[in-house]
């Protein structure tokens, strides 16, 4: 095999690898649903029917993901390398995707209606900023490791690394939560004297610190 043939083979290999890499590259408006385990469903924009999914799927704004039953889980991967692990019994939506413009980075808004997620968000000039909505609070995440837990009784945000700004949606109070800290916003139904369907809920922030609020009473 002469040098010209070797060079030609190498060039073809480089082109094939380049094309393959581009085929799997995500744009700012695409989110990859992967790492699917157990029973996982997706709800596409404009649809009312949950569709079972077992293979890697590309999602966009307006889609929802539900992990159903024991052992179910999935991972969302974003164009900037950020990831969100969705644990069992969760319902997560992609609310909005805003693409970057010149010097302004993009923004991705998600909501957690129920369940647990573990987010690893990149921080850098080429990364988007992220916002996570819950029934009682928003989390502004510029880049960090964070766990979000949502139940019928409380919302807990635990920061593993970095800083998160948590805003109580009902009273507008903001809390800055840093590495090793946890904040839980609990719905105090008994003190109100009515059920959630009958009026606005009051929210109590009952712990800010390194303690695990799930063990507190």
Structure confidence at residue 188 (pLDDT): 58
pLDDT at 46 over 80: yes
Second CATH level (architecture) for the domain 27-215: Sandwich (2.60)
What is residue 198's three-state secondary structure?
A: helix
Q: What is the pTM of this model?
A: 0.76
Q: Which residues lie across from 205 on neighbouring strands?
A: 185
Instruction: Return d(Cα 95, Cα 171) in angstroms, integer.
Output: 23
* Domain positions in the chain: 27-215
What are 137-194's pLDDT values in tens digits? 899 987 789 999 998 888 889 999 999 999 887 678 888 888 888 888 876 555 444 4
- Name which of 35-44, 80-89, 147-156, 201-210 the model is least confident about: 201-210
CA distance 132 to 107: 11
- Work out the percent of the chain whose per-residue pLDDT is above 70: 71
Residue 75 pLDDT > 60: yes
pLDDT-based confidence at 54, cuts 50/70/90?
A: very high
Reply yes or no on whether the pLDDT at 96 is more than 80.
yes
Cα 203 off chain centre by: 23
Give phi and psi for 136, each to the nearest 5.
Answer: -125, -5
Greatest alpha-carbon pair distance for the chain in Å reads 87
Question: How does pLDDT run across 198-216, given as a tens digit for each residue?
Answer: 434 444 444 444 444 443 3
């Amino acid at each position: 095999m002469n040098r010209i043939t070797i060079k030609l083979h190498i060039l073809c290999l480089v082109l094939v690898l380049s094309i393959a890499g581009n085929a799997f590259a995500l744009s700012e408006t695409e989110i990859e649903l992967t790492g699917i385990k157990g029973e996982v469903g997706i709800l596409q924009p404009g649809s009312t029917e949950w569709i079972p999914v077992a293979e890697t799927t590309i999602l966009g704004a307006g889609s929802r993901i539900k992990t159903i039953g024991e052992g179910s889980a999935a991972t969302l991967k974003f164009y900037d390398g950020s990831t969100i692990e969705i644990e069992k019994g969760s319902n997560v939506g992609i609310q909005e995707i805003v693409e970057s413009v010149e010097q302004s980075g993009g923004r991705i808004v998600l909501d957690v209606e129920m369940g647990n997620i573990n987010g690893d968000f990149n921080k850098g000039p080429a990364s988007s900023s992220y916002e996570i909505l819950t029934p009682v609070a928003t989390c502004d995440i510029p880049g960090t490791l964070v766990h979000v837990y949502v139940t019928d009784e409380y919302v807990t945000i635990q920061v593993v690394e970095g800083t998160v700004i948590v805003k109580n949606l009902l009273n507008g109070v903001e809390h800055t939560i840093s590495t090793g800290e946890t904040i839980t916003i609990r719905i105090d139904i008994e003190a109100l004297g009515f059920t959630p369907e009958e009026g606005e809920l009051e929210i109590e922030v009952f712990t800010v610190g390194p303690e695990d609020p799930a063990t507190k009473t």
